[in-house]
Amino acid sequence: MRCKEVKQRISENAGVLDRDVDEHIRACPACKRAAQAALMVQNALNAARGAEPVLPLSAVRERVEAAAKRHEHKTPLEKLMSKINEACHARPRLWAGLGAALVVFLFLTLIPFSYSRTVGYQVTVSGVGGNLDISPELLAATLSTVGYEDISISRSSEDDSDGYTFANLSTKEEAEDVAETFTVLAANPGQPEVKPIRENVTWSLLAQAVDKVVDKVVDGKPKTLKMRFDKHKIIINQEEIDGTIFSVDLSDEQVRDAIEKVLTHHGVSLDEISVAVVTDTPKAIRKISLRLPDSTSADGAKPHIDLYLADSVVGAVFEDGDDQVRFENFIEITFPDKELNGHSIFLKVPLKPVDSLKAKER
């Protein structure tokens, strides 16, 4: 007989040991010890049996009714405090946890800490070549045509080079955009530097966290998809997309699927934009149309963009209201803002017109 089985039988039949068990425990000190312990438990339980004198019921009744009366005469506030006290005693861990959470919450909301927050961005460009003669006013007018109307621009001159500062930019993306625009406009643009404008405040940790999170939340704002076209690649929201979608070996459907996959990856619903790909074989031009639903935005912008791909050259064509055709290689599409109930497409920074494509298309 094994010790495990013996110990089990000992627990079940304390004090009454059958012959097999008895023989085993004579030879096994560990089981003998277990049997002694089981016997002690049984003896202790037996000794505790039987009624012991208790308080008479009348005395108990008197005490309980006095306590009940005291409870009835309590004010509502005392009753509430008593209930809270009881609840705390019944669930001490829960209440200790809630108390700790409250302390942490108060610490996060009431104790102020010094905090440096970003209130905007500025772009500084130094060492611009002297042959660039653009006044801040002209720069402001140029930038306003691409959507930046409230930018404050200042120019400083040193020896044979100029420096420009663009301030009042609310986001880093805007600042980088402006820096890029300036790089295109200036022949020798120097090194644009995007710097955050910081403000020191004394806020609670929670307010600081909310401030940081609010900066990141894009929900409720129009979704923006920035697409840049290069010879062999598309860059969407600064992420480079594999250039294989331009391969002439791919069918139109494969190209369409690839573009749709890219758009979906960037959070664009295919209900918001439709993709069509058509190859004009004689002209060796593949036309990719990105179309928004048939509605125009309040500012009258066109609801579609066509991209043309040919001979490893990529460009986007925009047909404006006067039937003029311009080619761009940098577009920014702003997706629906529910409150505006419309769509808008912004074209930015005209770069190199792809004349060959234009000619082929015509």
Partner 1 sequence: MNSELFWTLLKPVHPMAAGFCRKLTGDRDEGDDLYQDGLLAALRNFDTLRDEATFRPWLFRILINRYKNRQRSGWWRRRITLNTEVVEHDRKVNPQDEYNSRRWLQRALSALSPEDRALIVLYEIEGWPVAELAATFGRPAGTIKTRLRRARRKMRETLERFMPRPGTEIIIDEVPYALQRSKAADK
- List the one residue from 43, 156, 171, 244 that touches partner 1 (CB under 8 A): 43
Mark 17-36 with x for binding to partner 1 (rule: CB under 8 A) and - for no binding.
----------------xx-x
Encoding tokens for residue 204? 């609670």
Cβ neighbourhood burial of 133 (10 Å; 0-12, 13-18, 19+)? exposed
Q: Examine residue 63 and tell whether it contacts partner 1 (CB under 8 A).
A: yes
**Cβ atoms of 324 and 297 closer than 8 Å:** no
- List the one residue from 4, 19, 27, 54 that touches partner 1 (CB under 8 A): 54
Is residue 355 classed as helix, strand or coil in its secondary structure? helix
Least Cβ distance, residue 83 to partner 1 (angstroms): 12
Least Cβ distance, residue 19 to partner 1 (angstroms): 21
Q: Examine residue 53 and tell whether it contacts partner 1 (CB under 8 A).
A: yes
- List the one residue from 49, 73, 216, 362 that touches partner 1 (CB under 8 A): 49
331 to 360, contacts with partner 1 by CB under 8 A? none
C-beta of 53 vs 220, nearer to partner 1: 53
290 Cβ contact partners less than 8 Å away, ≥ 6 residues apart:
259, 273, 274, 275, 304, 305, 306, 307, 333
Q: How far apart are CA 186 and CA 147, in angstroms?
A: 19
Q: What is the DSSP letter of 14?
A: T
Number of residues near partner 1 (by CB under 8 A): 40
C-beta of 32 vs 117, nearer to partner 1: 32
Q: Which of 310, 297, 312 shows the shortest CA–CA distance to 347?
A: 297
- List the one residue from 18, 19, 27, 51 that touches partner 1 (CB under 8 A): 51
- List the one residue from 6, 10, 151, 178 that touches partner 1 (CB under 8 A): 10
**CA 4, 6, 12, 14 torsion-angle sign:** negative
Q: What is the DSSP letter of 341?
A: T
User: How many residues are recorded in the chain?
Assistant: 362
If you search the block for the tokens 């003998």, which residue do you land on? 32
65 to 104, contacts with partner 1 by CB under 8 A? 65, 67-68, 71, 88-93
Q: How far apart are CA 351 and CA 348, in angstroms?
A: 9
Least Cβ distance, residue 100 to partner 1 (angstroms): 14
- List the one residue from 18, 52, 159, 323 that touches partner 1 (CB under 8 A): 52
Q: How far apart are CA 53 and CA 338, in angstroms?
A: 80
Going through 25-160 in order, the beta strands assigned E by DSSP cover 112-129, 152-158
Q: Which of 322, 330, 324, 326 shows the shortest CA–CA distance to 349?
A: 330
Of 3-11, 153-161, 184-192, 200-208, the segment contacting partner 1 by CB under 8 A is: 3-11
C-beta of 67 vs 101, nearer to partner 1: 67
C-beta of 65 vs 150, nearer to partner 1: 65
Q: Examine residue 145 and tell whether it contacts partner 1 (CB under 8 A).
A: no
* Sites of contact with partner 1 (CB under 8 A): 7-8, 10-12, 14, 33-34, 36-38, 40-41, 43-45, 47-55, 57, 60-61, 63-65, 67-68, 71, 88-93
